[in-house]
Amino acid sequence: MALRLVADFDLRKDVLPWLRAQRAASAAPGAEGDRDVLETNYESLRVLNVERNGNIIYNYKDDERNIVFGLYDCQTRKNQHLYTFEKDLQVVSCSVNREKTLLAASLVKSTEEGRRNELQPGSKCLTLLVEIHPVNNVKVLKAVDSYIWVQFLYLHVESHPLPQNQLLLISEEKYIEQFHIQVTQEDGNRVVIKNSDHLPRHRIAEDFVWTQWDMTEQRLYYIDLEKSRSILKCLQFYADQSCDLMVNQEKLCKYLTLCVFTNHTGSLCVCYSPKFDSWEQITYSVFYFHKGYSKTFTAALGSAGSHGTQGITFLNLERYVAVYLPGHFFHLLNIQHPDLICHSLFLTENNKTNDMLPHSSFQSLSGSLVLDWYSGRLYRAFLDQSYLLRFLWNTSLDCEKMAILHCVLSCGQDPQFLEGQIIQWISENVSACHSFDLIQEFIIASSYWSIYAKTSNVDTILPYSSVLTWNTEIPGITLVTEEIELPLMKVHSFKGYWEKLNSNLDYVKYAKPYLCYNNSVVKREWHNLISEEVCMRQGEQKPRLTLLLQEEDNHQKLLLGLMVSELREHLLRHLQGVEKKKIEQMVLDYVSKLLDLICHLVETCWRRHDLQSSVLHFNRPRSAAEFEVFHIMTRILEATNSLFLPLPPGFHTLHTILGVHCLPLHNLLDYIDNGVLLLTETAVTRLIKDLDNSEKNEKLKFSILVRLPPLIGQKICRVWDHPMSSNIISRTHVTQLLQNYKKQSRNSMMDKSSFSVEFLPLNYFIEILTDLESSSQALCDFEGHDNVDAQFIQEAALKHTTMLLDL
């Protein structure tokens, strides 16, 4: 299944063996008849609370129906007894302080059925504070008919052995109080509550309608009713007793299921679902407060007759929120990039996924922790990468391919392995997507996620997707998006999470137009370049990359330098406060990743089709495998050209060599003339050397030569021993030699014995060239044109004339 639950704690495995060992050690010799009683007692074993440090509090009833509290230390993985109430009571709530010296608990009398009976007249809920290290006194904090939830605050204070303890009490009578408990140490290790007769306290809130506790971040969310509106508030507890207040106004109290989720990137999501009106379709909504809009999803149920007993469950998976209804659907909502629906994954019962999901009542704790109250298991939830990769190979929907691609790249534990698997899939399914370019999306997304963790706000300044809009419907899902009022934060200190949330809100409010980097800037600058020297200077800091061929590709080197320069300026402009050296390294890493991904794509296709190095030579027959690789390289070129991305050195050479192998001459020339194939000196040199001078090959060579830039053409002609090549060299040489020639009246003093052919026009022309070549300046100007002189011109002209006359 897409969701994988790994048990961090299991009552039956982590607690029961210890309890049995304790019971066996204390039992009288030969007392074997207690086994059935023992098993019956431990049926009452259940988890009560999970504290910030990961410690788990549980309880059970012993033979006399006394309530026994125990604690499982997640660090040492050992159990310890906390306290025993020698009464038949039922625990409503409990919490232990960091030092394990104080226990707070709310208890009620047990009914015969073993359930709490809050409606029974005169039934009291006792909220007690107990000194447990060692066991000393018990103080009654509350004795009321309403239920009380208790929670010690775990503030980040490591310097004090006995800090002031803070205890929250949340009452069903809709008020929240905070107790301040001072302790002192007497007689060695004896911990005593100071001034226990009068514990300072104050009310935090009144008339709330809903609360949620975030144990890891020590935040309390609650909803107040004010006039006709409900206001969601958040209290952040710090060691200095300061409280941060975050307020936003929405009508939320009417919803049956309501969850608030945050993560370290500064996201804030409120998920809720109303009571089901029917089993034909189910609606739920998500407020993306960090983005400034909400989305309401309506899911059609696959089989209306299959009704579940549980409602919708929301689970926090950091960058995703999982929404599932057992037996019907499982949705993964992308909360980091929720703007396009195709970035979220919607699985229905037709995927045969949901039957494998637990039907238990889960509670999502902080991060990816999930508590199953019924079984007493604490899970850490992960997205199953193996399942997602298999699903990627089997799905036919573009929206699911897009969603899985981002999901695997953003949540993967082994990025290189996962990228390799995705590249393998792309190489076999390069034309499988119609709604977006698969290669483009992979390159942009993978490059983005490779540097995502290096700085905050990178999602606002670097593109994470090649897709700007998505209009294709997703089967079984309808979606309504609405703008919402941004949160109003009254925060004493913008630090940590609040700083990032504030940055996200500022981006929503002020970032118009969007700040995301666009390579069109590079394209514009590229066309404005005046000289090659400027580009060479910008490309001096060349990123590390894998070379396809050991070749210097100046064209790509210049483009690469431009992108590095423009991207560096973009990040320096928008990442205020980040070191310049760190930004420069980010740029190099990002561009290197782009090139490495392209290399990896080509190399994977090369290995998949088992091509050998002999393919780099032209004097061999073509194969179907070469055509497949040529097709994929063409698709890569199309994808990078539209994004104006640089290519690794050697790409164009390899692409051209395969093109010559695979294409008829007229198609090959069309590809060259339309810019699909870029002729490189390396590729053309190999073509000239490898192919003989048959009539067909001569036509190919000449067609290529006339399409080369002049400087490269002159160099290539020198390696082709052919009259046509000599003719081109001669024409170029004569053009340069005569460009400043001024005709002068002169008497011919030509020595006819020096010419082998009686052809006066040619002889006269050669005489002029000989005179020009005799000047030292001319020899200096044409230094490097070895073996090209008047005699060479004469011989080339005669050979060419002979060839034209077919003599």
Task: Summarize pLDDT for 527-552 with one digit per residue, the tens.
Answer: 665 344 333 333 444 444 444 566 77
Mean pLDDT of 210-230: 86
Confidence of residue 478 (pLDDT cuts 50, 70, 90): very high
Whether pLDDT at 722 is above 50: yes
Confidence of residue 739 (pLDDT cuts 50, 70, 90): low
Q: Using alpha carbons, select from 608, 601, 294 the residue that is nearest to residue 447.
A: 601
Whether pLDDT at 373 is above 70: yes
Q: Could you tell me if 58 and 81 are in contact, meaning their C-beta atoms sit under 8 angstroms apart?
A: no
Q: Is 475 exposed, middle or buried (0-12, 13-18, 19+ CB in 10 A)?
A: exposed
Which tokens is 535 given? Answer: 């580009």
Confidence of residue 732 (pLDDT cuts 50, 70, 90): low
- List the strands of the sheet with 229-237, edge to edge: 208-214, 219-226, 229-237, 243-249, 488-490
Confidence of residue 724 (pLDDT cuts 50, 70, 90): low
Q: Could you tell me if 657 and 677 are in contact, meaning their C-beta atoms sit under 8 angstroms apart?
A: no
Dihedral Cα 344, 349, 351, 356, nearest 10 deg: 100
197-201, 357-361, 645-649: least confident range: 357-361
Confidence of residue 24 (pLDDT cuts 50, 70, 90): confident
Q: Could you tell me if 223 and 235 are in contact, meaning their C-beta atoms sit under 8 angstroms apart?
A: no
Q: Could you tell me if 256 and 311 are in contact, meaning their C-beta atoms sit under 8 angstroms apart?
A: yes
Q: What percent of the chain has pLDDT over 70?
A: 75
Please report the pLDDT score of residue 359 as a whole number.
Answer: 61
Mean pLDDT of 418-442: 92
Please report the pLDDT score of residue 120 as a whole number.
Answer: 46
Please report the pLDDT score of residue 541 as a whole number.
Answer: 43
Mean pLDDT of 464-483: 91
Cα–Cα distance measured from residue 649 to residue 36, given in angstroms and rounded to the nearest whole number: 76
Whether pLDDT at 122 is above 50: no
Which tokens is 776 given? Answer: 């030292």
Reported in sequence order, the residue ranges of 21-99 that DSSP labels E, i.e. its strands, are 46-50, 56-61, 67-73, 78-85, 89-96
Whether pLDDT at 304 is above 90: no
Mean pLDDT of 427-454: 91
DSSP 8-state class, residue 13:
I
Please report the pLDDT score of residue 651 as a whole number.
Answer: 92
Cα–Cα distance measured from residue 459 to residue 449, given in angstroms and rounded to the nearest whole number: 9
753: Cβ contacts below 8 Å, ≥ 6 apart: none
Whether pLDDT at 290 is above 70: yes
- Average pLDDT across the chain, whole number: 81
β-bridge partners, 223: 210, 232
Confidence of residue 767 (pLDDT cuts 50, 70, 90): low
Residue 224 C-beta-side C-alpha neighbours within 13 Å: 17
Mean pLDDT of 361-373: 84
Please report the pLDDT score of residue 795 as a whole number.
Answer: 62
Kindly report whether the global pTM for this prediction surpasses the value 0.85.
Answer: no
Whether pLDDT at 500 is above 80: yes
96: Cβ contacts below 8 Å, ≥ 6 apart: 51, 55, 57, 71, 82, 102, 103, 104, 132, 152
Please report the pLDDT score of residue 703 as a whole number.
Answer: 86
Confidence of residue 134 (pLDDT cuts 50, 70, 90): confident
β-bridge partners, 282: 299
Mean pLDDT of 795-799: 64
Cα–Cα distance measured from residue 80 to residue 48, given in angstroms and rounded to the nearest whole number: 15
Is pLDDT larger for residue 734 or for residue 777?
734
Tally the residues of the chain: 807
Confidence of residue 762 (pLDDT cuts 50, 70, 90): low
Mean pLDDT of 777-799: 56
Is pLDDT larger for residue 474 or for residue 189?
474
Please report the pLDDT score of residue 255 as a whole number.
Answer: 65
360-364, 605-609, 793-797: least confident range: 793-797
Please report the pLDDT score of residue 758 as a whole number.
Answer: 58
Q: Using alpha carbons, select from 356, 269, 255 the residue that is nearest to residue 312.
A: 255
Is pLDDT larger for residue 743 or for residue 263?
263
Confidence of residue 727 (pLDDT cuts 50, 70, 90): low
271-275, 277-281, 467-471, 726-730: least confident range: 726-730
Cα–Cα distance measured from residue 564 to residue 583, given in angstroms and rounded to the nearest whole number: 11
Cα–Cα distance measured from residue 681 to residue 658, given in angstroms and rounded to the nearest whole number: 15
Q: Using alpha carbons, select from 346, 266, 261 the residue that is nearest to residue 302.
A: 346
